[in-house]
């Protein structure tokens, strides 16, 4: 690879920013050399505690034990709301921008506080207690944030399920964590279309007998199925609820939320985060990575159904008393200028989105961007997948007018908060690199045998020490937590990502090294798609791999073997695509289906995905070792009939 272009921090940016290079280095060194006092100071500075902790950290990664601020008591909603009221009660906590450009509203900290208390009281009336799990299946409306914060107020554990997931995906998640309450809305609205959320809940609940309450927010007014004993209208219930609700005193290690994410096996993992460490690190990274100055308007375009929405629409910004914009729509509705129209309308200073959105807009040319001034923008962020340097340059030049700093933030559902990223005033940029680790994060590259690799090199990305916002377990399956993250390389957290470190110590994430796809920044296990495909009675077997896709980053390529007697047809392809949509949701829609009379397998019956990936990407001259295949002729057949020429 040629030497990357460098974008040094301009002097005036370093002066204005919260941290410059020297400060970053000093704090980083201290975070590793004196972690206890470092984190104790941060915990004092960023959070308000009802009771101070007895011990800063108590970690043993080899045993899967991660504990921060034990004995400390705090409440997340108190930290995100109450403590801002005295000084900044009238400040906008949320700016909601609806799907249609003429719909928006502003909600002050005082208003949000009252609404959260009301909703918390409604949950209490319906019997929700500390530790109970509550499923949130919502569109991007303020009530989604209210629902999450209301749970934290009373110590309930929320499990937000992305509104794009299907009824069966929703059902699996409700069952896995035994949620007994669901908060939803009649319908969602996105890109001019409606999403039947309440009807989806209805379908899911056919197999969730433990759900006793569904609290429904009225968004569109559509008629929905109603079960009197179970269903409650949100607007009716909160009307009679008190706007005061004592925040529950939670232990720092009490569960805060569960969020499901895809792994390399079929069943999604319920990543569990706890209270103190998570809130501390999301608050701290929000402030420093986005260089948040008091009074600025911040916009993260993610959905609250993903971890980015949790940490950087809700918890990080609100813990800092920031103004967080919540957007209901999509980048291209009503037209490809929507993002920039919203930026101008609300004078957004900090904008955080995904590379896939940037690539999609890049395809529409500069015109829709240039129609708007974008003068308020100062910081641009990206997250979710590696950003290719062309998209980075376009973001920098066209969107940011070469004036804005870009922060490419690498992290995961499991890490809770940003782990590797530039800091606007401290770190020189290289397009396509997430740059350097955040405080307390010690990345390490290892080979497949676990040998630590030094200097400029490629390897498997590990983090050597526990950090406050690290996941604590997989809900209900600690053994899987150990096996997925902590036993590959004993004593270290394995990320599942590959990375390159260059001579300046910069990290370049190269993508997943396991069977996890990254479709438009959304994680999807190949096994999940395979399990959906084999539900069709004409499908005998399926193998799914990723292939490079211009806009989505990766596309979904499915090899499908039919049962004896079944005939391949375009109609059957369509049935399979629909089946995957129905089982998982639109984000998992296959891009390519290739009929495969046989799949390449080893003599022990293991599918050799390496070969399938090469065929899908058309890298045919370098198939690697095929000598262990049970029947090498299978490969010739696949190449002959490949669908991606």
Choose among 596, 545, 498: nearest CA to 264: 545
Residue count of the chain, please give it: 645
The answer to whether 512 is a known ligand-binding residue is yes
- The helix or strand, by DSSP H or E, that contains position 297, with its residue range, turns out to be strand 297-300
The answer to whether 581 is a known ligand-binding residue is yes
Query: Closer to ligand 6R9 at the Cβ: 472 or 512?
Result: 512
Please tell me the distance from the alpha carbon of residue 159 to that of residue 108, in angstroms, as a whole number.
25
Please tell me the distance from the alpha carbon of residue 22 to that of residue 26, in angstroms, as a whole number.
6
Question: What residue has token string 């997931």?
Answer: 165
The answer to whether 176 is a known ligand-binding residue is no
The answer to whether 171 is a known ligand-binding residue is no
The answer to whether 53 is a known ligand-binding residue is no
The answer to whether 191 is a known ligand-binding residue is yes
The answer to whether 193 is a known ligand-binding residue is yes
User: Token digits for 61?
Assistant: 């990664």
Query: Closer to ligand 6R9 at the Cβ: 120 or 499?
Result: 499
Query: Closer to ligand 6R9 at the Cβ: 546 or 600?
Result: 546
**In the complex, minimum distance from the CB of residue 420 to ligand 6R9, in angstroms, rounded to a whole number:** 8
User: Token digits for 72?
Assistant: 């400390």
> In Å, what is the CA distance from 105 to each residue of 84, 119, 252, 343, 424?
20, 19, 34, 15, 30
SS3 494: strand
**In the complex, minimum distance from the CB of residue 385 to ligand 6R9, in angstroms, rounded to a whole number:** 5
**In the complex, minimum distance from the CB of residue 271 to ligand 6R9, in angstroms, rounded to a whole number:** 8
**In the complex, minimum distance from the CB of residue 562 to ligand 6R9, in angstroms, rounded to a whole number:** 33
Query: Closer to ligand 6R9 at the Cβ: 316 or 337?
Result: 316
The answer to whether 301 is a known ligand-binding residue is no
Query: Closer to ligand 6R9 at the Cβ: 113 or 512?
Result: 512
**In the complex, minimum distance from the CB of residue 505 to ligand 6R9, in angstroms, rounded to a whole number:** 17
Backbone angles phi, psi at 176, to 5 degrees: -60, -40
* Cβ–Cβ under 8 Å, residues 476 and 177: yes
Q: Catalogue the E-assigned strands of 5-61.
A: 55-57
Q: Which residues contact 34 (CB under 8 A, 6 or more apart)?
A: none
Name the residues that contact ligand 6R9, by CB under 6 A: 261, 306-308, 383-386, 408-413, 434, 495-497, 509, 511-512, 518, 523
Please tell me the distance from the alpha carbon of residue 583 to that of residue 591, in angstroms, as a whole number.
16
Exposed, middle or buried, 567 (CB in 10 Å: 0-12/13-18/19+)? exposed
- Helices (H) and strands (E) counted in the chain, each on its own, are 22, 31
Query: Closer to ligand 6R9 at the Cβ: 196 or 498?
Result: 498
* Cβ–Cβ under 8 Å, residues 296 and 349: yes
Residue 485 CA, chain-centre distance (Å), reads: 18
The answer to whether 51 is a known ligand-binding residue is no
**In the complex, minimum distance from the CB of residue 164 to ligand 6R9, in angstroms, rounded to a whole number:** 14
**In the complex, minimum distance from the CB of residue 263 to ligand 6R9, in angstroms, rounded to a whole number:** 10
Please tell me the distance from the alpha carbon of residue 28 to that of residue 438, in angstroms, as a whole number.
7
Please tell me the distance from the alpha carbon of residue 521 to that of residue 539, in angstroms, as a whole number.
29
Choose among 43, 491, 459: nearest CA to 279: 43
**In the complex, minimum distance from the CB of residue 114 to ligand 6R9, in angstroms, rounded to a whole number:** 31
Query: Closer to ligand 6R9 at the Cβ: 150 or 407?
Result: 407
**In the complex, minimum distance from the CB of residue 29 to ligand 6R9, in angstroms, rounded to a whole number:** 24
Question: What residue has token string 């040629």?
Answer: 2
User: Token digits for 476?
Assistant: 């209900």
Q: Residue 87, Cβ neighbours under 10 Å: how many?
A: 11
Query: Closer to ligand 6R9 at the Cβ: 288 or 410?
Result: 410
The answer to whether 408 is a known ligand-binding residue is yes
The answer to whether 192 is a known ligand-binding residue is yes
Q: Catalogue the E-assigned strands of 550-604.
A: 553-562, 592-595
The answer to whether 233 is a known ligand-binding residue is no
Query: Closer to ligand 6R9 at the Cβ: 241 or 486?
Result: 486
Query: Closer to ligand 6R9 at the Cβ: 172 or 408?
Result: 408
**In the complex, minimum distance from the CB of residue 249 to ligand 6R9, in angstroms, rounded to a whole number:** 30
Q: Which residues are annotated as a binding site for CoA?
A: 190-193, 308, 520, 581
Q: Which residues are annotated as a binding site for Mg(2+)?
A: 534, 536, 539
Q: Which residues are annotated as a binding site?
A: 190-193, 308, 384-386, 408-413, 497, 512, 520, 523, 534, 536, 539, 581
Q: Which residues are annotated as a binding site for ATP?
A: 384-386, 408-413, 497, 512, 523
């Amino acid at each position: 690879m040629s030497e990357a272009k460098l974008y040094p921090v301009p002097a005036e940016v370093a002066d204005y920013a919260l941290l410059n290079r020297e400060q970053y280095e000093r704090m980083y060194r201290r975070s590793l050399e004196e972690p206890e006092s470092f984190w104790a100071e941060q915990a004092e500075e960023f959070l308000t505690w009802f009771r101070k902790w007895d011990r800063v950290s108590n970690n043993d990664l080899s045993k899967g034990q991660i504990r921060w601020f034990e004995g400390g008591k705090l409440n997340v909603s108190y930290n995100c709301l109450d403590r801002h009221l005295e000084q900044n009660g009238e400040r906008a906590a949320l700016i909601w921008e609806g799907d249609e450009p003429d719909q928006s509203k502003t909600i002050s900290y005082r208003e949000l506080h009252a609404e959260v208390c009301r909703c918390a009281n409604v949950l209490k009336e319906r019997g929700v207690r500390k530790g109970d799990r509550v499923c949130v299946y919502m569109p991007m409306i303020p009530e989604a944030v209210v629902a999450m914060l209301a749970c934290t107020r009373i110590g309930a554990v929320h499990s937000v399920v992305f509104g794009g997931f299907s009824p069966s995906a929703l059902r699996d998640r409700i069952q896995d964590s035994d949620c007994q309450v669901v908060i939803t809305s009649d319908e969602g609205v996105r890109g001019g279309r409606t999403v039947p959320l309440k009807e989806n809940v209805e379908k899911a609940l056919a197999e969730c007998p433990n759900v006793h309450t569904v609290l429904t927010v009225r968004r569109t007014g559509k008629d929905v199925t109603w079960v009197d004993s179970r269903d409650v209208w949100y607007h009716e219930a909160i009307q009679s609820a008190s706007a005061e609700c004592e925040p529950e005193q939670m232990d720092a290690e009490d569960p805060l939320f569960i969020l499901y994410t895809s792994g390399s096996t079929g069943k999604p993992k319920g990543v569990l985060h706890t209270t103190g460490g998570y809130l501390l690190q999301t608050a701290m990274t929000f402030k420093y990575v986005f260089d948040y100055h008091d009074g600025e308007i911040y916009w993260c375009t993610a959905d609250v159904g993903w971890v980015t929405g949790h940490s950087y629409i809700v918890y990080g910004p609100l813990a800092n008393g920031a103004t967080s914009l919540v957007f209901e729509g999509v980048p291209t509705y009503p037209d490809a200028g929507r993002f920039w129209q919203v930026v101008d309308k609300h004078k957004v200073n900090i904008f955080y989105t995904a590379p896939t959105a940037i690539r999609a807009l890049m395809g529409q040319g500069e015109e829709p961007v240039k129609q708007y001034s974008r003068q308020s923008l100062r910081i641009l962020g990206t997250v979710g997948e590696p950003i290719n340097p062309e998209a980075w340059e376009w973001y920098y030049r066209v969107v940011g007018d070469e004036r804005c700093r870009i922060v490419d933030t690498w992290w995961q559902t499991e890490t809770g908060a940003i782990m590797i990223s530039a800091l606007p005033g401290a770190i020189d940029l290289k397009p396509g690199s997430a740059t350097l680790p955040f405080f307390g994060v010690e990345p390490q590259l290892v080979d497949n045998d676990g040998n630590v690799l030094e200097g400029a090199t490629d390897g498997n990305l590990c983090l050597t020490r526990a950090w406050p916002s690290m996941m604590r377990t997989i809900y209900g399956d600690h053994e899987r937590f150990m096996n997925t993250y902590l036993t590959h390389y004993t004593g270290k957290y394995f990320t599942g990502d590959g990375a390159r470190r260059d001579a300046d110590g910069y990290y370049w994430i190269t993508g997943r090294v396991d069977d996890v796809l990254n479709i438009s920044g959304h994680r999807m296990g190949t096994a999940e798609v395979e399990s959906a495909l084999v539900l069709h009675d004409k499908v005998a077997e399926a193998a799914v791999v990723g292939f490079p896709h211009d806009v989505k980053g990766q596309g979904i390529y499915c090899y499908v073997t039919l049962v004896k007697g079944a005939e391949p047809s375009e109609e059957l392809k369509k049935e399979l695509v629909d089946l995957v949509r129905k089982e998982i949701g639109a984000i998992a829609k296959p891009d390519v289906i290739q009929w495969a009379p046989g799949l390449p397998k080893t003599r022990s019956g293991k599918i050799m995905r390496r070969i399938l990936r090469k065929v899908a990407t058309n890298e045919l001259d370098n198939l690697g070792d095929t000598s262990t295949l049970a029947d090498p002729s299978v490969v010739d057949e696949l190449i002959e009939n490949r669908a991606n020429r």
